[in-house]
């Protein structure tokens, strides 16, 4: 942690997740040993699309065991999943397998809505709050407001803090900093 900012690491064969589980485990363990507070992984999209849900879930469970108390954020390849039913199934499977957060790979309001519905259903059945992070393609304040509104309306105001809701958008941060400073800023 540096000045209140936690270190996160994208691990597990990013961006395609097409590597051996042993490599994913090693990457995750090394990242945590080097000070990562959170780990981001990508679901094994090949396993999911071929119907090997058990294999996909076992990978998430194994990586969560490596993470221990550290947050595990699971990136769903929402563009590759294509349908709302696949996005919902991948969301549910990821949460039951140990995800502390579920993330989009390329944010769309439709994917966000489905994922937040899944989070709500999971919470109602288990009492466990899972975080949501839309990421990829969020470029304007209006985009951010859309995702904020989806979370607020589906999950409620209790989800509107950085423990349960985050936006993945360095471009938006740069735009806001530029507006504040009155000059182009490329901090991120």
State yes or no: is 103 an active-site residue. yes
Is 21 exposed, middle or buried (CB count within 10 Å of its CB: 0-12, 13-18, 19+)? middle
Helix (H, G, I), strand (E, B) or coil at 5: strand
Which strands make up the sheet holding 71-75, listed edge to edge?
8-10, 38-42, 71-75, 101-103, 131-133
Tokens of 120: 């709500």
**Residues 64, 100, 103, 143: which is the catalytic one?**
103
For residues 177 and 187, the answer to whether their CB atoms sit within 8 Å is yes
Tokens of 138: 């969020």
DSSP string over 72-130: EEEE--HHHH-SHHHHHHHHHHHHHTT-SEEE-SS--HHHHHHHHHHHHHHHHHH----
**Residues 24, 64, 73, 133: which is the catalytic one?**
133
State yes or no: is 40 an active-site residue. yes
Element (H, E) at 7: none
**Residues 24, 40, 64, 143: which is the catalytic one?**
40
Torsion-angle region of 4 (φ positive above 0: left; ψ -120 to 50: alpha; else: beta) = left
State yes or no: is 68 an active-site residue. no
Q: Which residues are catalytic?
A: 40, 103, 133
């Amino acid at each position: 942690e540096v000045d209140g900012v936690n270190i996160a690491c994208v691990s597990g064969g990013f961006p395609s997740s097409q590597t051996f589980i042993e490599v994913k485990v090693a990457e995750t363990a090394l990242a945590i040993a080097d000070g990562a507070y959170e780990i981001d992984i990508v679901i094994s999209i090949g396993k999911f699309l071929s119907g090997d849900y058990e294999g996909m879930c076992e990978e998430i469970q194994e990586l969560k065991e490596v993470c221990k108390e550290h947050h595990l954020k699971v990136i769903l390849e929402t563009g590759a999943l294509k349908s709302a039913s696949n996005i919902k199934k991948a969301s549910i499977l990821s949460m039951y397998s140990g995800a502390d957060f579920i993330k989009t790979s390329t944010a769309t309001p439709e994917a966000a809505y489905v994922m937040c519905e899944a989070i709500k259903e999971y919470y109602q059945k288990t009492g466990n709050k899972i975080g949501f992070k839309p990421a990829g393609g969020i470029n304007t304040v209006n985009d951010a407001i859309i995702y904020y509104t989806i979370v607020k309306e589906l999950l409620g105001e209790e989800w509107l803090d950085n423990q349960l809701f985050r936006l993945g958008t360095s471009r938006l941060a740069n735009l806001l900093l530029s507006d504040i400073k009155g000059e182009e800023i490329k901090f991120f």
